[in-house]
Amino acid sequence: MLIGIVGKPNAGKSTFFKAATLADVEIANYAFTTIKANQAIGYVSTDCVEAEFNVRCRPRHGFCINAKRFIPVKLIDVAGLVPKAHEGRGLGNKFLDDLRQADVLILIVDTSGTTDEEGKPTTNYDVCNDVRFIIDELNAWMLQLLKKDWLMLKRKIKIEHISLVDALAEKFSGLKITHEQIKKAIAKAGLSETPDRSDEQLENFVCCLRSIAKPIIVFGNKIDIASKQNITKLEQFCQQQGLSVVFGSAEIELALREAAHHGLIKYVPGSSTFEIFAREKLNEKQRQALSKIKMFLQEHPTGVQEVINKAVFGLLKYKVVYPVENEKLTDKDGNVLPDALLMPEHATALDLAEAIHSDLAKNFVAAIDVRTGKRLSKDYVLKHNDVIRIVTS
Ligand SMILES: Nc1nc2c(ncn2[C@@H]2O[C@H](COP(=O)(O)OP(=O)(O)OP(=O)(O)O)[C@@H](O)[C@H]2O)c(=O)[nH]1
Ligand SMILES: [Mg+2]
């Protein structure tokens, strides 16, 4: 699972990325601070089934606090995007290639309206414009990729009699786009099988494909300094566009996670409270900062964990499945509920076996639903929170 962090320069992408991963990246109040993409591990969170089974889990990857299970996901923070990047403006759109493997994108918007589309200081900027132009740029990037090889693809379809779906799937295989997604996009765009298509038809197809294969969720950032008007405006605009939006502050989440990392507070990412461990260890500045943060949290959570969760579970509809080796819910080393795996919407018991180890899939006999003891076939479609034991030959 790879989550791409996109947006214009200075919107707070690296702040968001650092808050989610605690990776050491550069953050600064000017445009194009990030030039080379950063990748690190963040976490998606879910209610752990340990509470239901009345056990204490011991995760092999990620962690669990107060029955909230944090499952690792990869995040990538890319350079800022400006209008007409696909024509080479700003840093161009070559760096968009960094997003090829992304499953979902979080679009960071500076809701304060104090930076223009190039990330320079301004006032009263129309915050909806960021969503508009970034989506246009992403679509233009994909269209460019398609147009570059369109003549060659047409020839393949005509001479080698390759189907349109196969030809497009081959073209977009480097963008982690599946046959199924191409088929859906062709149907949604009403693209015909005839090889001659207008530019408009291709544009429409790419637009559909992008929304299916690289879905977007908006994060309205910097609400600590944003006006209510801007928040409402962006919320209504996203609603009109059929986009999910979460509001918050990456900077406040970063402060909380760093304070927790340094042992000053106990903070479970995503919660709207924190606990100060050692008040005497805090200096006056830290005390003031934490009391400001407390006031912010009374009004609003920081939104960082929420938007990651919504991207994975809401947009992508992934499920969490716990594979175990026996009815005691452990692996062979005695770790309780050792793994929580993120599985795609339609994944089956056999897909789960494959995700654990290809040998398990090869020797698959059945899966057992540990809750009920029921035997499940390889085609069983996994449900969220399933606890499964795989039986092999
Ligand atoms: N007030 C406020 N400022 C924020 C917030 N998030 C980020 N910032 C500030 O916004 C500025 C830009 O942050 P970055 O994270 O470097 O932005 P970026 O989008 O990565 O910028 P580029 O790498 O240049 O594209 C910095 O001064 C941050 O401190 C927030 O939630 N609230
Ligand atoms: Mg940056």
Q: Which atom of ligand 1 is nearest to the CA of 252?
A: 31
Residue 344: predicted pLDDT: 96
Ligand 1 within 6 A of 13 CB? yes
Give yes or no for residue 123 having a pLDDT over 80. yes
pLDDT greater at residue 157 or residue 127: 127
Nearest CA to ligand 1 atom 32: 222
Ligand 1 within 6 A of 11 CB? yes
pLDDT greater at residue 8 or residue 197: 8
pLDDT tens per residue, range 349-384: 999 999 999 999 999 999 999 999 999 999 999 999
Average pLDDT on 287-298 reads 95
Q: Cα(16) to centroid of ligand 1, in Å? A: 8
Identify which of 104, 65, 139 has the alpha carbon closest to the alpha carbon of residue 345. Answer: 104
Residue 35: predicted pLDDT: 82
pLDDT tens per residue, range 54-78: 999 999 999 999 999 999 999 999 9
The C-alpha atoms of residue 145 and residue 93 are separated, in whole angstroms, by 11
Q: Cα(279) to centroid of ligand 1, in Å? A: 29
pLDDT greater at residue 90 or residue 392: 392
Ligand 1 within 6 A of 221 CB? yes
The pLDDT-based confidence of 281 (bands split at 50, 70, 90) is: confident
Ligand 1 within 6 A of 37 CB? no
Percent of the chain with pLDDT over 70: 98
Q: Is 365 exposed, middle or buried (0-12, 13-18, 19+ CB in 10 A)?
A: exposed
Residue 280: predicted pLDDT: 84
The pLDDT-based confidence of 194 (bands split at 50, 70, 90) is: low
DSSP per residue, 29-74:
SSTT---S-EEEEEEEEEE-THHHHT-----SSSEEETTEEEEEEE
Q: If one looks up domain 2-37+78-244 in CATH, what number appears?
A: 1.10.8.470
pLDDT tens per residue, range 301-317: 999 999 999 999 999 99
Residue 196: predicted pLDDT: 66
Which helix (H) or strand (E) segment holds residue 341: the answer is strand 341-343
Ligand 1 within 6 A of 15 CB? yes
Q: Cα(211) to centroid of ligand 1, in Å? A: 26
Residue 136: predicted pLDDT: 94
Q: Which atom of ligand 1 is nearest to the CA of 27?
A: 16
Ligand 1 within 6 A of 10 CB? yes
Residue 294: predicted pLDDT: 96
Q: Cα(200) to centroid of ligand 1, in Å? A: 37
Residue 193: predicted pLDDT: 67
Q: Cα(154) to centroid of ligand 1, in Å? A: 44
Q: Which long-range contacts (CB under 8 A, 24 or more apart) does 63-70 make?
A: 65/268, 66/268, 68/268, 68/270, 69/45, 69/320, 69/340, 70/43, 70/44, 70/45, 70/269
Average pLDDT on 126-140 reads 95
CB 213 within 8 A of CB 181: yes
Q: Cα(144) to centroid of ligand 2, in Å? A: 25
Residue 148: predicted pLDDT: 86
Residue 176: predicted pLDDT: 93
Nearest CA to ligand 1 atom 24: 32
Name the DSSP letter for residue 380. Answer: P
Average pLDDT on 79-95 reads 81
For 319-392, the fitting CATH number among 3.90.1200.10, 3.30.2130.10, 3.10.20.30, 3.40.50.1700 is: 3.10.20.30
Residue 314: predicted pLDDT: 97
Residue 191: predicted pLDDT: 80
Q: Cα(214) to centroid of ligand 2, in Å? A: 21
Pocket test for ligand 1, best of 24, 231, 251, 296 (most atoms within 8 A of CB): 251
Ligand 1 within 6 A of 29 CB? yes
Span of 43-47, 93-97, 214-218 with lowest mean pLDDT:
93-97
Q: Which atom of ligand 1 is nearest to the CA of 77?
A: 20
What is the three-class DSSP state of 132? helix
Average confidence score pLDDT of the chain: 93
Ligand 1 within 6 A of 25 CB? no
Give yes or no for residue 192 having a pLDDT over 90. no
Pocket test for ligand 1, best of 5, 27, 30 (most atoms within 8 A of CB): 27
Q: Where are the domains of the chain?
A: 2-37+78-244, 250-297, 319-392
Residue 75: predicted pLDDT: 98
pLDDT tens per residue, range 205-232: 999 999 999 999 999 999 999 999 999 9
Q: Which atom of ligand 1 is nearest to the CA of 108?
A: 19
Residue 160: predicted pLDDT: 86
